[in-house]
Chains A and B, each alone.
Chain A
């Protein structure tokens, strides 16, 4: 069981950054033109043990991700972002436009979940964002419970990916423990039920 736990941990850190203490951290890129809102979202994320990068515009966000068309030799490897949270109403590039740009990209960037934040509860706006592939639409002001819920959801998604990968690796090195024992040792302590996961992953807007 110790072996499978270690494989799980190793695989998890491929997806996530390592914090100074060595535990895997979710890296969130937050985009907002409002100084006040940037500070608040940064704090919400830090308190939720996420690594945070905050930028003030969609253009800067694309630059940070290396998607701005500028020749970047580093590529994606140097910047691992697990979640993007963007304000909707921004001068220049709106959050919606940023969402579209990201979803048009190569598979690696397209996979990054994008959450839209807005102070306005406009159904057509919400629909448009969800249709374009937004993970969720949050009404501002964003609360700590929103961030926690998001983080849980992303981490569970990651855990599922890692489970699959760990299983593949274990099969290849021919581990002896039976499959059922393997699953229980590498699932998260909170052990989400599949029905809960499908509720979270269905693209419902939080109104």
Chain B
């Protein structure tokens, strides 16, 4: 019974992540690539994403300190960030990346800085929520065993 309750909680967290627009369909696509031999594939990919993102955020921070701003470089870095965010289904982060790139194209430095701050917030929020989600999913264990007779 405990197990089923945990699984329901995990499902609820996941549902809200989608409802609130943090994740999109791509996340589900990734989950479908998991199997018994690769049960933690999504978490592994997301961990790679964090590593990649940290590097890109540092790069953006440094590039935004330059004077004058190198908008082409900023756009290129953000293109990468948008790409990997899209690959894991990080919907809100991806939207902020798009906005940032629009400011780059408009050569709007202030807009870039603002949207970068916003993007970092979204990224931090997503990261926290996903960490909770994966932790609960791990605790609940694999779905199949919940319904196997003891």
Contact = CB atoms under 8 A, between A and B. Distances in A.
Chain B associates with chain A? yes
Contact of B29 (A33, A37, A89, A141): A141
- Most chain B CB within 10 A, of A34, A47, A141, is at A141
Contacts of A173: none
A39 B45 contact: yes
Given A43-B38, A43-B41, A37 B83 contact: yes
A144 B29 contact: yes
A140 B29 contact: no
Interface stretch (B4-12, B84-92, B102-110, B126-134): B84-92
A183 B52 CA distance: 52
B67 to A, nearest CB: 24
* Size bracket, chain B contacts: 20 to 34
Interface residue SS majority, chain A: helix
A35 interface: yes
Nearest to B50: A36
A206 B86 CA distance: 18
Contacts of A36: 45, 48-49, 52, 83-84, 87-88
Given A35-B48, A36-B45, A36-B88, A119 B83 contact: yes
A39 B48 contact: yes
Interface of A: 33-37, 39-40, 43-44, 47, 89, 119, 140-141, 143-144
B76 to A, nearest CB: 8
Most B CB within 10 A of own CB, among A36, A40, A44, A141: A36
Given A34-B83, A39-B44, A44-B33, 16 more contacts: A34-B80, A36-B48, A36-B88, A37-B84, A37-B87, A39-B45, A39-B48, A43-B33, A43-B41, A89-B79, A140-B83, A140-B86, A141-B86, A143-B29, A144-B32, A144-B33
A47 B45 CA distance: 16
Interface of B: 26, 29-30, 32-33, 35, 38, 41, 44-45, 48-49, 51-52, 79-80, 82-84, 86-89
A39 B48 CA distance: 9
Contacts of B45: 36, 39-40
Contacts of A47: 33, 35
Contacts of B80: 33-34
Given A39-B48, A44-B33, A89-B79, A141 B41 contact: no
Contacts of A33: 80
Nearest to B46: A36
A141 to B, nearest CB: 5
Task: Give 8 closest A-B pairs by Cβ, nearest first.
Answer: A36-B84, A141-B87, A43-B33, A141-B26, A36-B87, A119-B83, A36-B49, A36-B48
